[in-house]
Amino acid sequence: MVALEAVLTATIQQVILVYTSLAVSITLGIPLAVVALNSHKLEKIIITFANLVQAIPTFAVVAIVVPLMGIGFWPAIFAIMLRALLPIVKNTWIGLSSVDPASIDAATGLGLTRWQTTRFIRFPHAYPPMFAGIKFAAILANSVAILTAIIGSGGLGTLVFEGLAGINITTMLAGALPAIFIAIFLDVSFTRLEYRLTAGR
């Protein structure tokens, strides 16, 4: 038997890990996409780097963080962010840069500044891919946050690894099942949010 309290604590920790890393990723990712939009050189570096890191197995990313930052909550957040950042940056950048050039032309002709064009023309156009990126990042964060228990982040992974170590299937499932529910919750809630924010576009 696994104590209900232990499961609850681990679940709360898991949720904190997911939302904290997601918040950090959004805060960093969207400005990075805007930077990529405004400089061809940085655009190339950022997008190439994003594509490259996306190919690397999560476990390797989590492991490499240990020699760099040690173990614990913040190294875990950093590891999760390394994964979750990429879909946000990439999708935002795709949305921002795929605006019809004629709209940009028209906006410039109306007298909008570069910043205003980005704010009023490019961003509204970029919302759908941006939200898709954020939803994907949230689901990814939940997935990585299980693994980061191995570097001492806490969360539902703690139960999974405990179960694995003692070959106790109940403990393993006590970690895995709530994580799946969180994944489904994230999928549904972000789809709803996406729908409400972009409805009518």
Partner 1 sequence: MIFDDVTAVWNQFNLTERTIEHLWMFSIALTISVILGIILGIILYQHKKYAEPALNGLNALETFPDMALLVLLIPVAGIGEVPTIIACIIYSLLPVTRNTYTGLVSVRPEILEAGTAIGLTEADIVRNIRIPVSLPMIAGGIRIAIVFTMGIVTLGGIIGAGGLGAPLQTGIVLLLPDVIIVTGLWVGILAVIFDGCAGMIEKRLTVRYGEW
> Nearest distance from residue 52's CB to partner 1, in Å?
6
Taking the C-alpha atoms of residue 35 and residue 42, their distance in angstroms, rounded to an integer, is 7
Buried b (16+ CB within 10 A) or exposed e, 60-95: ebbeebeeeeeeebebbbbbbbbbbbbbbbbbbbbb
Identify the CA nearest to 182 among candidates 9, 6, 12, 2. Answer: 12
> Nearest distance from residue 183's CB to partner 1, in Å?
5
CA 70 to chain centroid, in Å, comes to 22
> Nearest distance from residue 88's CB to partner 1, in Å?
17
The footprint of partner 1 (CB under 8 A) covers 52, 54-64, 66-67, 71, 139, 142-143, 146-147, 150-151, 157, 160-161, 163-164, 169, 172-173, 175-177, 179-180, 183-184, 186-187
Which residue's CB is nearer to partner 1, number 28 or number 150? 150
Which residue's CB is nearer to partner 1, number 30 or number 172? 172
> Nearest distance from residue 182's CB to partner 1, in Å?
8
> Nearest distance from residue 118's CB to partner 1, in Å?
30
Identify the CA nearest to 75 among candidates 153, 20, 161. Answer: 153
Which residue's CB is nearer to partner 1, number 58 or number 198? 58
Which residue's CB is nearer to partner 1, number 23 or number 64? 64
Which residue's CB is nearer to partner 1, number 35 or number 183? 183
Identify the CA nearest to 178 among candidates 20, 7, 18. Answer: 7
Identify the CA nearest to 122 among candidates 159, 146, 95. Answer: 95
* CA angle (32, 138, 93) in 5-degree steps: 30
